[in-house]
Amino acid sequence: MNLDLERINHEWGREPQALIQWALEQETNAICTTNFRPFEAVILHMATRARPDIPVVWMDSGYNTEATYRFADEVTRRLALNLVVYHPRRSRAHREALEGIAPGLEDPRHAAFTEEVKLEPFRRALREMAPRVWLTALRGEDTPERSRMQPVSLGDNGLLKVAPLLHWTAKDMYDYVQRFDLPNNFDYFDPTKVEAKRECGLHLAR
């Protein structure tokens, strides 16, 4: 894919809906990933406005809160999502029966835990679905690493990664949710990140 990323980021980087439309015009094989965290309905609403049947990929670790699962069901129903769920190769009950509860950040087993419940399912999704465009809801204010990213980037594997909301603030997200009367949920916890400003590895350079 031969793209002038500097020009694209300059022209489209602050227009999320237009950027999504542009990205989906580049390749037909596209996915939108979600974790159903707070304000996640924004990217899902935007993506399905541009392409109603776009596959929405969820790496469900099995460790989400009950409220997150209810939120996922509500958003899926409200937006008629084409939801594709990837789970770890063993269930939470299976893992905990052998290794106990999810390890904390100080536990040397935490990296292996993250690999098992999030990173391996994501790589499996990419391998099986073979997308050429990846829409993601990451935002620059989430972590220091993300603040240095660009809305559009091209990975070594040729995957066009598009973060339409990269420059949006929490207020922007809140206003959008209110404008379109979208559901939201703040009872969310990711055991692979633990801390809000920490990366789990999914969005680091690959």
Using the structure block, give the residue that is written with the tokens 């990296």. Answer: 111
Closest to 62 measured CA to CA, from 84, 88, 96, 35: 88
| Strands ordered across the beta sheet of 30-34 | 82-86, 55-59, 30-34, 133-135, 160-162, 152-154
Active site residue 32: no
CA distances from 119 to 25, 122, 137, 192 (A): 28, 5, 17, 10
CA 194 to chain centre: 16
Of 43, 46, 56, 200, catalytic: 200
The Cα–Cα gap between 31 and 121 comes to 15
**Hey, which residues are catalytic here?**
200
